[in-house]
Amino acid sequence: MSVKDDRYDHDLIEEARKLFSGRVDFLLSAPQLQFLPEPDFPEVAFAGRSNVGKSSLINALTGRKAIARASVTPGRTQELNFFEIGMPTQFRLVDMPGYGFAKAPVKVVERWKRLVRDYLRGRAVLKRTLVLVDSRHGLKPVDIEMMTMLDQAAVGYRVVLTKTDKVKASALEQTRDAVEAISRKHPACYPYLHLTSAEKGMGIAELRAAVLADSRL
């Protein structure tokens, strides 16, 4: 594989640990594109089906219990939420509404979908998107749709398996292989898969390093 795998760069892991345990601020919540902050800093966005664990992963990465609002109720995050990392600010994390949430009113789903899509396609400072996938479910058609949209927009992304604490090792291995096989067919997808648990901390230090590397692309 020709792409450098930055997950196991120990200096970068340590640098990222220090940075994420320092200053982290909620900046703003944008319900529409016109409310986006000025594109002054690099951004890394978190996408994925509703309830997959986007907000929880941001909390785990930043070591804050509830800087991003997480909930058992799908559809918790309804706007683009921006968090600034570092003092002075080095980059931003963007928590987004989930997709594929069947129970929300059609109009609301359409509005979220358009907001997320327009942001992902049009944001010049967006360095990488993380596409989160639930370890229990693997890739669903809506995930493939999102990945294809990112391929077409030439927005690079990483696939991150979430909630690995909820599945047995053997099942996790199968899901990982299946997701990796499909990921390889997507041109804008980073070739290495991240296995994480926001609950148990698995893969969090490595993902911090990856996000830091992405912010410097």
Ligand X SMILES: Nc1nc2c(ncn2[C@@H]2O[C@H](COP(=O)(O)OP(=O)(O)OP(=O)(O)O)[C@@H](O)[C@H]2O)c(=O)[nH]1
The contact set with ligand X (CB under 6 A) reads 48, 50-56, 70-72, 74-77, 97-98, 162-163, 165-166, 197-199
Q: How far is the CB of 196 from ligand X (least distance, A)?
A: 7
Contact 21, 208 (CB under 8 A): no
In whole angstroms, give the CA distance from residue 118 to residue 58.
Answer: 22
Alpha-carbon dihedral sign for residues 82, 149, 132, 41: negative
Residues 42-101 that bind Mg ion (CB under 5 A): 54-55, 76-77
- Compare residues 69 and 191 and give the one whose CB is closer to ligand X: 69
Q: How far is the CB of 1 from ligand X (least distance, A)?
A: 27
Contact 202, 165 (CB under 8 A): yes
- Compare residues 66 and 154 and give the one whose CB is closer to ligand X: 66
Question: Residue 52 binds what, of Mg ion, ligand X, none (CB under 5 to 8 Å, by partner type)?
Answer: ligand X
Q: Is 162 in the site for Mg ion (CB under 5 A)?
A: no
In whole angstroms, give the CA distance from residue 54 to residue 112.
Answer: 15
Residue nearest to ligand X (CB): 98
Question: Residue 166 binds what, of ligand X, Mg ion, none (CB under 5 to 8 Å, by partner type)?
Answer: ligand X
- Compare residues 1 and 64 and give the one whose CB is closer to ligand X: 64
Contact 159, 131 (CB under 8 A): yes
The two tokens of residue 206 are 């490595």
The two tokens of residue 144 are 């493939």
- Compare residues 114 and 216 and give the one whose CB is closer to ligand X: 114
127 burial via Cβ count (<10 Å: 0-12, 13-18, 19+): buried
Contacts with Mg ion by CB under 5 A lie at 54-55, 76-77
